[in-house]
Amino acid sequence: MLEFAWPWLFLLLPLPILVWWLLPPFRARQASVQVPFFERLAAATGQTPQRGAVVLERRALQMIVAVAIWILLVIALARPQWVGDPVTREVSARDLILAIDISGSMDQRDFKTPDGTTLTRLDGVKRVIKDFIARRKGDRVALILFGTRAYVQVPFTQDLQTAQQLLDQTAVGMAGQQTAIGDTIGLAIKTFATSTAKQKLLILLTDGNDTASRVPPEHAADIAHQNDVAVYTIGVGDPAASGENRVDLGVLQSVASTTGGHFFRAEDGAQLQAIYADIDQLAPAKLDTLSWRPKLPLFQWPLGAAVVLGLLLWLTLLLGSEWHRMKIVSHA
């Protein structure tokens, strides 16, 4: 349907009439011939001298075209536009961070894929996470990698292809050989600080226990809970291992329960894939409904018509003047 963005500009339509009524007419002085005996000449002819004035003749065509041009200009100023039918779209209101452990123990080749292939833990995790990222349509995804230190590999983005490519380039030991779970949670909280999403979800995947954090994981979990960040923890290491390769399941369970998340245990690709499916069910994305109506501007049509009318009027008056001059010349 046709609408005007600024319909109040139609109040300008009577402006020329007000100018016509309220402002004095334009007067221009012109050179004239002085007659010394003007008074005797006037008395001889029986006429009374008056102030000289010449009113230029206005043709009806000029007035009609001027009115049409003014109306078209006001219509263009009011910004006519064609407004289409409402378009509704649902978008995710969730920001999601994947925190992946790339410490030295992730290089162990004991991760079994659903097809029976044995891969390193990191390669197996990459394969499953790649499918999980591909299903995040509408979510903003960030990627944190951690070992001895934690850093943001991919800030929040909806460019899932780029996130997958940067994940593929990840290698074991890039962030050190130890594991800093508490610092990773702290970095995730800091990353969420600028987020305005209604749902903030951190998925933390590790195969070791916390050995390098400056902030204890439990304390970091309390801060995450205060900032409405839910942490879902996934342990992928061997719980029977000892030392730095041991998975501290108790800490992971505590972090998840403190923040309102869940703890999962994964030993192979099939379990990890099922875990991500469970996360989709436990933490479904919150959706915001956006509605708008497409608008096609049309102001250029009345504006163009006003310009064309002005050019045609100018050309008509020019041709008429030339024809009148030639007619006078021919009679002379």
Say if residue 1's pLDDT is above 70. yes
Which domains does the chain possess? 2-28+35-85+294-330 (no CATH), 89-290 (3.40.50.410)
Q: What is the pLDDT of residues 309-329, one digit of tens each?
A: 999 988 988 888 888 778 777
Strands 295-297 and 111-112: unpaired
Say if residue 152's pLDDT is above 80. yes
Check: pTM over 0.85? Answer yes or no.
no
CA of 220: how far to CAs of 67, 183, 207, 225, in Å? 74, 8, 19, 9
pLDDT of residue 71: 94
pLDDT band at 52 (very low <50, low <70, confident <90, very high): low
pLDDT band at 231 (very low <50, low <70, confident <90, very high): very high
pLDDT band at 87 (very low <50, low <70, confident <90, very high): confident
pLDDT of residue 111: 76
Residues near 150 by Cβ (< 8 Å), separated by ≥ 6?
99, 144, 175, 180, 183, 184, 186, 187
pLDDT band at 287 (very low <50, low <70, confident <90, very high): low
Q: What percent of the chain clears pLDDT 90, i.e. is strictly above it?
A: 29
Say if residue 332's pLDDT is above 60. no
Say if residue 190's pLDDT is above 90. yes
| The amino acid at 67 | V
| More confidently predicted of 77 and 324 | 77
User: Average pLDDT of the chain?
Assistant: 83
pLDDT of residue 11: 92
pLDDT band at 284 (very low <50, low <70, confident <90, very high): low
pLDDT of residue 99: 93
Q: What is the pLDDT of residues 118-147, one digit of tens each?
A: 888 888 888 888 878 887 777 888 999 999
Q: What is the pLDDT of residues 252-261, one digit of tens each?
A: 899 999 999 8
Neighbours of 178 (CB within 10 A): 19
Are 278 and 264 in contact by the 8 Å Cβ rule? The answer is: yes
pLDDT of residue 302: 93
CA of 166: how far to CAs of 109, 145, 161, 239, 272, in Å? 22, 11, 9, 30, 21
3-state DSSP of the chain:
CEEECCHHHHHHCCHHHHHHHHCCCCCCCCCCCCCCCHHHHHHHHCCCCCCCCCCCCCCHHHHHHHHHHHHHHHHHHCCEEEECCCEEEEEECEEEEEEEECCHHHHCCCEECCCCCEECHHHHHHHHHHHHHHCCCCCEEEEEEECCCEEEEEEEECCHHHHHHHHHCCCCCCCCCCCCHHHHHHHHHHHHCCCCCCEEEEEEEECCCCCCCCCCHHHHHHHHHHCCEEEEEEECCCCCCCHHHCCCHHHHHHHHHHHCCCEEECCEHHHHHHHHHHHHHHCCCCEEEEEECCEEECCHHHHHHHHHHHHHHHHHHHHHHHHHHHHHHHHC
pLDDT of residue 56: 63
Residues 192-208, mean pLDDT to the nearest whole number: 86
